[in-house]
Amino acid sequence: MAEPITLTRTLDDYKSDEKPTWCPGCGDFGVLNALYHAMREKNYSPKDVVLVSGIGCSSRLPFFVSTYGFHGVHGRAMPISTGVKVARPELNVLVMGGDGDAFAIGGGHFMHAARRNLNLTYIIMDNQTYGLTKGQASPTAATGYVTKASPKGTIEAPVNPLLLAMACGASFVARGFSGQPKDLASLILTGIEHTGLSIIDVYSPCPTFNKVNTFKSYREEVAPLPADHDPTDFDRSLGVAASFEPRYLGVIYQREGPSYDQLLEERKSGTEADLPKVLDSLFARFS
């Protein structure tokens, strides 16, 4: 039996000196709190954690945490975290950002991250809008979403992040809600403990710009997973992921298997002896 972890840290150990700059009532506060709790539950030393984000209101999150952080480029949280994890696999790397960051400008990276299966936790604060740039429609915005840039409402269908992740080969696909931060903390913890990429799409309302998808509307629409849900059953999990009445919360799909970093370690051990030869040939080519 695993030794129980003795918690030696408090939540304050994970808080930076920067006070969150989000609007009052922003859903991202709930995600931040859930993250503090999950890290404390793991008893992480802040120096062993790296939070990587893109650009957006949600991507500011690393500022408010006392760990290492990398506030990157819009849509590029995944390439940056891939580099960090491959270079320093012993670090706990969590990736975060918005729905625009993940599924619009970062959409191509999302697909490859899902199939690559690095041992990372990706928390998407999905407010179904571009919060930072004043509320345009994001890829998850509902059809008909009215903004200053789409005064007659959008005519596109939204992407379903869970189905997208599953189609791209993700090994852990979950949905959370920032209005239920306790459940969200345990979902993040489960994601951290998963071997491989855990993708957690979190409903995190933007009360300033999105007047459609609110704490109230989500509360009416979400539901816990059916009692007999089996997250290892891919086919049935697809149906659960596709449902909008209700929108299920929890681990929708999970499969076991080696992560990219594990496979890379195996590969490295076989080729280490060749490394000087490879370097010599590179120097010869570029000198």
Ligand X SMILES: Cc1ncc(C[n+]2csc(CCOP(=O)(O)OP(=O)(O)O)c2C)c(N)n1
Q: Which residues bind ligand SF4 (CB under 6 A)?
A: 22-23, 26, 28, 57, 127, 131-132, 206-209
23 binds, among ligand SF4, ligand X, Mg ion, none (CB under 5 to 8 A by kind): ligand SF4
CB 140, min distance to ligand X, A: 8
Report, in angstroms and rounded to the nearest whole number, the Rg of the chain calculated over CA atoms: 20
**Using CB under 6 A, which of 53, 117, 127, 198 touches ligand X?**
127
Classify the C-alpha dihedral 135-140-146-152 as positive or negative: positive
Interaction of residue 98 with Mg ion, rule CB under 5 A = yes
Angle CA 71–73–75, to nearest 5: 115
Q: Which residues pair with 69 in a beta bridge?
A: 51
- 77-87 vs 260-271: helix axis angle to the nearest 10? 40
Q: Which does 101 bind (CB under 5 to 8 A by kind): ligand SF4, Mg ion, ligand X, none?
A: ligand X
Q: Does 203 bind ligand X (CB under 6 A)?
A: no
Near ligand X by CB under 6 A, which window of 55-63, 214-222, 264-272, 273-281?
55-63
Answer yes or no: are the C-beta atoms of 101 and 113 closer than 8 Å. Answer: no
Instruction: Report yes or no: 177 and 202 within 8 Å, Cβ to Cβ.
Output: yes
Taking the complex as a whole, the smallest distance from the CB of residue 202 to ligand SF4 amounts, in Å, to 12
- Tell me the CB-side half-sphere exposure of residue 277, using CA atoms within 13 A: 4
Structure tokens at 81: 């975290």
Which amino acid does the sequence have at 258?
A: P
**Which one, 117 or 138, has the nearer CB to ligand X?**
138
DSSP code of residue 143: T
Q: Considering the rule CB under 5 A, would residue 99 count as an interface residue with Mg ion?
A: yes
- Residue 159 binds what, of ligand SF4, Mg ion, ligand X, none (CB under 5 to 8 Å, by partner type)? none
**Residue closer to ligand X, measured from CB, 57 or 241:** 57
Q: Taking contact as CB under 5 A, which single stretch among the options 6-14, 17-25, 121-129, 271-279 is the one that binds Mg ion?
A: 121-129
